[in-house]
């Protein structure tokens, strides 16, 4: 085991999958000699060449469309969208083509496609480099949506995504690319898609979280533990398909739920978690379901003080944990 950053876990997964399977290739803006805007593909062009690591035009619709066509013809493309904010031109290709192809062809065609993209705020990126898109795409049947929160899972989940015969949207919390560190095993391993993980055992509150917010929730949980509040952290890891058993089992244990996500509050992904808990876990409920989220403004502001106002952080989360524990 070696300590790696989140971006290093992603890069290792890409490298190993390219080496393992000749049908795997990467395409996207600046993924070649530059190694990507965040350097996720650094060194892969020199190692595998321009037919396996392919610079694309600045056209997200075409990046995904080429990936779909290649996937339907025996290849396993990994398409990088430089920022999640730029994915909308490809919405029709993702939702109406990739996600529905298996269903509409009666199982004749599969689309083993991975779409990687960094999402979320906290880097001073302003409105067009900070958006959270997970709720929009987790709503789509036929599309798997995965978000790792640590380097171990980033590597293992990405390798599972590449080997999956269904389209997978792999969202990467860019604020955590070099901030989040953890142990990563050497060599080949996978983390199953569709399984949440209890990353901290607790008896007082269940906290449902994913991506960068998991990192902040760990810090908040450690802070309130000094006050005798034992928080159970549920790292969802896969948003669609959701591991409802783990979600409900934790709620049965604690009776109190806090859901944390950095997207806008209204109709954010956590609203679905709240609905599941209210619908299928009502008998376990000891307090109102609470959320810590971003506000309902169009996007994360560029101004750093306003960005701090928008983003959930350990202090805001810890205060919500205290309030829920007191209920």
Q: Give CA–CA dist 143/265, Å, rounded.
A: 23
Q: Using the Cα atoms of residue 255, residue 120, residue 211 and residue 135 in order, give the sign of their dihedral.
A: positive
Query: What's the angle, vertex CA 102, arms to CA 99 and CA 107, rounded to 5?
Result: 170
Q: Give CA–CA dist 53/24, Å, rounded.
A: 9
Single out the residue of 180, 230, 192, 252 nearest to residue 6, CA to CA.
180
Q: Give CA–CA dist 278/3, Å, rounded.
A: 39
* Cβ pair 195, 243 in contact under 8 A: yes
Single out the residue of 316, 137, 312 nearest to residue 213, CA to CA.
312
Catalytic residues: 129
Q: Give CA–CA dist 102/112, Å, rounded.
A: 10
Please name the helix (run of DSSP H) or strand (run of DSSP E) that holds residue 322, with its range, or none.
helix 314-326
Q: Give CA–CA dist 24/303, Å, rounded.
A: 40
Q: Give CA–CA dist 301/278, Å, rounded.
A: 33
Single out the residue of 137, 139, 114, 152 nearest to residue 18, CA to CA.
114
* Cβ pair 61, 89 in contact under 8 A: yes
Q: Give CA–CA dist 2/155, Å, rounded.
A: 13
3-state secondary structure of 94: helix
């Amino acid at each position: 085991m070696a300590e790696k950053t989140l971006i290093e876990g992603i890069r290792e997964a890409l490298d190993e999958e390219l080496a393992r399977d000749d049908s795997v290739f990467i395409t996207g803006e600046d993924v070649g000699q530059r190694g990507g805007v965040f350097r996720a593909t650094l060194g892969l062009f020199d190692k595998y060449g321009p037919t396996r690591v392919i610079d694309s035009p600045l056209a997200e619709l075409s990046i995904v469309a080429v990936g779909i066509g290649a996937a339907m013809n025996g290849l396993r493309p990994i398409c990088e969208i430089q920022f999640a904010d730029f994915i909308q031109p490809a919405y029709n290709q993702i939702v109406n083509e990739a996600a529905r192809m298996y269903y509409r062809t009666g199982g004749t065609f599969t689309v083993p496609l991975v779409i990687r993209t960094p999402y979320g705020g906290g880097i001073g990126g302003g409105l067009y480099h900070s958006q959270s898109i997970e709720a929009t795409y987790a709503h789509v049947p036929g599309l798997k949506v995965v978000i790792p929160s640590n380097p171990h899972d980033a590597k293992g989940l990405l390798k599972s995504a590449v080997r999956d015969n269904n389209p997978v949207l792999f969202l990467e919390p860019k604020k955590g690319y070099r901030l989040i560190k953890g142990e990563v095993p050497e060599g080949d391993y996978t983390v199953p898609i569709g399984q949440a993980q209890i990353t901290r055992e607790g008896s007082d509150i269940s906290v449902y979280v994913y991506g960068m917010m998991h990192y902040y929730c760990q810090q908040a949980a450690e802070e309130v533990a000094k006050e005798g509040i034992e928080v159970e952290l549920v790292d969802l890891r896969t948003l669609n398909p959701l591991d409802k058993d783990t979600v409900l089992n934790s709620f049965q244990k604690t009776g109190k739920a806090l859901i944390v996500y950095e997207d806008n509050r209204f109709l954010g992904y956590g609203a679905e978690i709240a609905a599941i808990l209210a619908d299928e876990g009502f008998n376990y409920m000891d307090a109102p379901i609470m959320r810590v989220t971003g506000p309902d403004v169009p996007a994360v502001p560029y101004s750093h003080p306003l960005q701090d106002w928008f983003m959930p952080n350990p202090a805001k989360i810890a205060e919500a944990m205290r309030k829920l524990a007191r209920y």
